[in-house]
A and B are shown apart, each in its own frame.
Chain A
Amino acid sequence: MQLEEKLMSSFVAFESEVDTLAPVHDVREKALKSFEKLGFPTKKNEEWKYTPLNSLLKEDFHIFSKHDNTVEFKDVKQYFIHDIDTYKIVFVDGVYNSFLSETTHEGADICLLSAALAHSKYQKNITDYFHKIASKNDAFTSLNTAFAKEGAYIHIPEKKILEKPIQIIHFSTGNDTALMLQPRNLIIVGKQAEVQIIERHQSLSNQKVFTNSVTEIFADQRAQVDYYKIQNDQEEASLIDNTYIRQEKESHAKVHTFSFGGKLTRNNLNFYHNDEHIESTLKGITIIENKQLVDHHTLVHHASPNCESHQDYKGIYADTSTGVFNGKVIVEKEAQKTNAFQQNNNILIDDKATINSKPQLEIFADDVKCSHGCTIGQLDEDALFYLRTRGIPKKEAKALLTYAFANNVLESVQIPSVKSRINKIIATKLGVDLGFDV
């Protein structure tokens, strides 16, 4: 059976597990209809031209996990940022794992979407925010919405500055062959509130796993959102991540996406500006090899005057890996004095690696500063010679330069533990040994 049909027919079984009388179920049903109409995108769809889905979608994925799976902390510790205190919302094969988690309702709600959907005290937030900015015309988002029942629910109330970061981690055990996961996160950050979030999807086996994730983030006036996506998954794990962020006046939202592994990774990152003096930062480092594919589709929608957006994506592609960068910036007529900057720099290590880079600027205002720059190249020969005259052999010198190229993006990382973790992953991936104080 085709995955599409299988998903449609699984909806009845899904309904037996959720409260079909809840208002949110109307949203699900509409989303399912929308998915049925849209169907999975094909290569003819311009947005998916360079990211073929056929081999992924022909797999016979299980829609629900059959097992009651669990993992031991010692076996998964390495996937946590464990040298600092954090809140943790951990899922194993799509099911919440309380043993590995640390949630709270004191001062802020850091808990589960299923809980927020079930309890009346969260009803207003669900009504006001759930599926309010996620696309109604995107097949994967619609599919996720139709099956939405679990994920992280985070509400940081007004003026609350969260004292420690939150980690959202999804493990898949591989106990089911070919499992499909559809986590759904809702994050509401109140006026002048601040939050730092680290998100990770991690397969613990070489079984096929396909995650279709949707995250909605609302940053109210002067809120600060600092979000890190760590994508360093197994060779058989695929991820389609759909993240939607709506920002209010003077808020600042930053998303760093670190893509180091997985079979197919697609990041749809969408920012919507709802008022003035908003700042959005989108940064990414991609380092992949073999047949891996990483696709960054970004959208920044400037709809109000005096806002800024900064995009900086670096990519390093080895072997026959493929990268896609599609950066869309829309500046509406009203959005005068917009500053929108976009950078995408790539290094192809091997002849057979590919990068498709496409800036897409749609500017309707006349008093704006918008720039985009894209480079695709090899390492600088002069720089290489410089290192070699210091006695560093060619291979190590190349690795060091590649490391430096990627490392540029890490400056804006605010959590030192995350910075050093990413630093180490990059150094390991590139075979750079820098001793102790990396």
Chain B
Amino acid sequence: MLSIDNLHASVEDKSILNGISLDVKAGEVHAIMGPNGSGKSTLSAVIAGNENYEVSEGAILLNGEDIGELDAESRAHKGIFLSFQYPVEIPGVTVTNFIKTAINASRKAQGLDEMPAKEMLKKIREKATLLEIDSRFLSRSLNQGFSGGEKKRNEIFQMAMLEPKLAILDETDSGLDIDALRIVANGVNKLRNENNAIVVITHYQRLLDYIVPDFVHVLHEGKIVKSGTKELAMELEEKGYDWIKKGA
């Protein structure tokens, strides 16, 4: 699904990613962990196509196609989704209208007609029910006045609607209490299937109790310094990141 080979990226001449290689297959969940400043969020931004970062070396392939030169919207059309740590507030545009705009933009890019209103509504209802989202929530302005939990749940709702091939969840657990975390994680688990892949980016292990990864990678100074299974996350939780830093 996703194949990253020797990826180097920098922002304003400051090198942040220093040769990352990663293979994610359909049906897998990968966790990327690491201390603050290790490059976790940069990696997600670069995969999603943030133009603030300069990719100097390496390649990002999605199902064999090099997407390195594509802009963010084209990557979204090809099935990449990024759940933001800090989603943006858009007053005056309801959750429903926003998702309609997004879905139809993707359909247009693929040469399809707009999704009929009836079908759209059905899908919205279906996904809202799946994620236990109240219908009143859908007519509120996007993220405006939302609690931390509501913002994250809204991100997962968008993921459910857009049905990406590859979803990157950037610090989805930050700012959530344990109940909100459980709801969001349950939502993600319901969306997991054989055909999609999920990359979970997190500082702490606790999210991984709910979204159980197949593989765990530890990022340090812009490189993957250790890879393993979910037990690695447990070890990190116990020992902290210092032993990784020392070993690096």
Contact = CB atoms under 8 A, between A and B. Distances in A.
A434 B91 CA distance: 13
Interface of B: 45, 48-52, 71-73, 75-77, 80-82, 84, 86-94, 96-98, 100-103, 105-106, 109, 117, 158, 162
B105 A396 contact: yes
B49 A388 contact: yes
Contact of A404 (B73, B93, B109): B93
- 8 nearest A-B pairs in the assembled complex, by CB-CB distance: A407-B92, A391-B76, A388-B72, A390-B102, A391-B106, A383-B88, A386-B88, A404-B90
B8 to A, nearest CB: 21
Given A403-B92, A435-B100, 6 more contacts: A389-B82, A390-B162, A393-B105, A396-B101, A403-B93, A435-B101
A389 B97 contact: no
Nearest to B97: A434
A385 B110 CA distance: 20
B73 A388 contact: yes
B108 to A, nearest CB: 9
A434 B105 contact: no
Contacts of B106: 391
Interface size class of A (residues with CB under 8 A): 20 to 34
A433 B75 CA distance: 22
A435 B76 contact: no
A391 B88 contact: no
Contact of B97 (A380, A381, A435): A435
A386, A406, A436, most chain B CB atoms within 10 A: A386
A438 interface: yes
A408 interface: yes
A80 B86 CA distance: 42
Contacts of B100: 434-435
Interface in A373-410: 380-383, 385-394, 396-397, 400-401, 403-404, 406-408, 410
20 contacts: A386-B84, A388-B49, A388-B72, A388-B76, A389-B75, A389-B80, A389-B81, A390-B102, A390-B105, A391-B102, A391-B105, A391-B106, A391-B162, A396-B105, A400-B90, A400-B93, A404-B91, A435-B101, A435-B117, A437-B96
A175 interface: no
A423 interface: yes
A414 B103 CA distance: 32
